Structure 1
Amino acid sequence: MYVVVGIRFKKAGKIYYFDPGDLPIEKGDFAIVETARGIEYGQVVVGKKEVTENDVVLPLKKVIRIADENDKLQVEANKDAAKQAFGICQEKIANHGLEMKLVDVEYTFDRNKVIFYFTADGRVDFRELVKDLASVFRTRIELRQIGVRDEAKLLGGIGPCGRILCCSSWLGDFDPVSIRMAKDQHLSLNPAKISGLCGRLMCCLKFESDVYEEKADQVV
């Protein structure tokens, strides 16, 4: 068994497990941890608990320390820098004539890398753009192409139900959604009625799918 804490780096983001060591860390605290992307700042959303080896990815990385006020100020400064980087990148994309839409920009906590999220209909040769951006920001550059569902998660919005999108407010992972789920729930198959802002089938079709399947099995 392993003692872990669950940390989330973005609102409605995926939860990752870390080894808290002897730190007096509790749910709700903010922490500094080492990730594959570098040093990051996240919130503890799952307090200390024991899990089996099958529930974690080994080797477990340790929580470096509990975050303090200076770390919070660093995060806010990174967000401001990311807004400026967004405008600069948009200009560079236009200068290079690339068919891509910039969605979001994010700095890692330690400013070791700046990540540009974009959507595009196909593959984009952005090698010259990366060189251009690297000469401006003097740090590691990553351009990450995302899908329309990820775009909706990053940008947020209001769904047809009148509530904030599930993907941007609480849904950590995207589950597969099929047209069969709409059929089983006797919903209209009009794409305009069963599609979300992203243009894909609404994630909420999955929420009640198991209940409908269970009822169908009982009838049989």
Structure 2
Amino acid sequence: MPIPTLTVTDAVARAADLAAGGGRRLLGLAGPPGAGKSTLSAALQQQLGTSMVVVGMDGFHLANAELIRLGRRDRKGAPDTFDVDGYVTLLARLAEQRAPLYAPWFARDLEESIGSAVLVDPGTPLVVTEGNYLLHDAFGWGAVRSLLHEVWYLRLDDDERRRRLVRRRLGHGDTAEHAQHWVENVDEPNARLVAAGLERADRIVTMS
């Protein structure tokens, strides 16, 4: 059975329905690096306001010092460079939340996570969590899918997606040569892993 496809406008309307459905809903936005997960999260936030909050998977990046110790710093963003158990534990807490809690946030300009940076109120009906590996099934990621009410896969033209990734790295002070190298040798292998989980998505959102 084909996976339903949404425009961004459709996605906003669907998210509003989830927020109005009663109780707590967890919505996942998955997709390869540069597909527009943060962009769609911001669009949803603008329309839904205080009825939703964004809790990013990237807040669970392992610290750079730990990645260096593990010998994984040169491929930060791969599935085994996150605190997956911590992320799964937070999602489980969010599903049953009865008191305010704080989630971490990833500061892209610092390339580090900041703990207890995002307040989640128990009365907020919709939690949107976005990240590459919500539909992945290795390194412990398989536990994520069952905790989310819906997961949408974001699809963007690959050439445009790669251009945006390079542009983003340049915007954070990277050199053109290193930015291109990182996108080709780190982001793109990860993108192929992410794409393998597409069939487990509830909907596909076409980004532009």
TM-score normalized by structure 2?
0.21
If each structure's strand is expressed as a fraction of its own residues, which one has the higher value?
A: 1
If each structure's helix is expressed as a fraction of its own residues, which one has the higher value?
A: 2
